[in-house]
Amino acid sequence: MQGSTLECTIDRTIVFRADGNSKIGFGHIYRMLALIEMVKPVAQKIVFISSPIPESIMRHILNLKIQHEIVPDYDLAVPDMQFGIEIKLDMKLNGDEIVVLDGYHFGLNYQQSIKQLGNKLVYIDDLGGDQFVADVVINHAPAARYADNSLTQFYTGLEYAMLRKPFLSPFKMKVQDKKIAFVCMGGTDYFEYSLLFLELLNLHGGFDSINLVYSSKYPEELIKKLNNYKSETPLNLYFDLSAEELISLADESTHAFVSASTVLLECYARSLYCYAGYYTKNQRMIYNGFINSNLARGLGDFSALDLSTFKRVLSNLPDKLSEPLNSANRIVRIFSQL
């Protein structure tokens, strides 16, 4: 695990606000849970506010023993159709809290409503831009850049990786004579790219086995197709894994084939060779940061990915992490200074 948490106490109540569903995935939720795990040891009170979420994630929230409030489900569309959509402030605040937002529907009006009450505001970003009213913006994409803003402090890069604490633990030794593929599109896969990667890996060959992780929120028809594929390739299927189970699976794998989302950071943090692509606009910043820094090899837009591109990209290895990331103390310091 990481070094000892900073000796400090955060007296303000910290309110975390995020949503997730089968259309937008659960990356915003998992980033919130990662932040909560980091600051909980020094925070006096934590409140997590979200729309209804799956039982598998609820179990993790219950284990954290924090206050959880549920707001109505906004039936949010896929990420590329969310931009420009904004909801009204949907939580009661006293005016002396630290509020943390993660989601594209928490636009400028929503943020200004929070600031006008006197609260401190932390905004989790993965799009970039130049319009922020938050006191702090955190973006863990490598090489993320922002223009100077007298109102806002920007914290960017893997030094501020928002990952659940188990992903920051020491690595386990991998079996060097095996090549094991790890495939995961995250909490949702409405374009069936999981199936695409099974087909590409099967045609390419060269891997001893494939570990594919999916969510019970995947479309039922896709889950059936994945199970049917087990007869054609050395495939192991896993769903709704805890962080510890996911780490165990990643630690036995050698190569990751993932979307440029939280799962990419999780795989990189476990020292896998990472191959990533994107299928929504909000994944482009993380994708570009990883590819331009050679922390992953780029598969481009998944909708255009074919076997020749797949083979060409696999012909070279990216860099992989040599020692665990260390971000928890840096993030606690940000909150303690608000």
Domains of the chain, earliest start first: 10-166+326-336 (3.40.50.2000), 172-314 (3.40.50.2000)
The answer to whether 250 touches 224, Cβ cutoff 8 Å, is no
In sequence order, which ranges of the chain are alpha helices (DSSP H)?
27-39, 55-64, 108-116, 193-204, 220-228, 243-252, 262-269, 284-292, 307-314, 328-336
Look-up of token digits 């909980």: 40
Look-up of token digits 């990209």: 313
The Cα-based distances of 265 to 163, 165, 253 in angstroms read: 8, 13, 15
The answer to whether 332 touches 38, Cβ cutoff 8 Å, is yes
What's the one-letter identity of residue 162?
M
**What is the Cα–Cα distance from 302 to 299, expressed in whole angstroms?**
7
**What is the Cα–Cα distance from 110 to 113, expressed in whole angstroms?**
5
154: which strand partners? 137
Side-chain-facing half-sphere of 270: CA atoms under 13 Å: 29
**Dihedral over Cα of 102, 106, 107, 108: its sign:** negative
The answer to whether 210 touches 181, Cβ cutoff 8 Å, is yes
Reading the chain (338 residues) residue by residue, the pLDDT tens digits are: 344 455 678 999 999 999 988 777 888 999 999 999 999 999 999 999 999 988 888 988 999 999 999 998 877 665 544 555 678 898 999 999 999 999 988 989 999 999 999 999 999 998 887 788 999 999 999 988 898 888 899 999 999 999 998 999 998 877 678 899 999 998 889 899 999 999 999 998 889 999 999 988 888 999 999 999 887 788 999 998 988 999 999 999 999 999 999 999 999 999 999 999 999 888 999 999 999 999 999 999 999 999 999 999 999 999 999 999 999 999 999 999 99
Neighbouring residues of 205: CB distance < 8 A, sequence distance ≥ 6: none
Burial 268-283 (b: 16+ CB within 10 A, else e): bbbbbbbbbbbbbebb
End-to-end CA distance of the chain: 26
Phi and psi, residue 202, nearest 5°? -65, -40
CA-angle at 77, arms to 286 and 93, nearest 5°: 85
Q: What is the pTM of this model?
A: 0.89
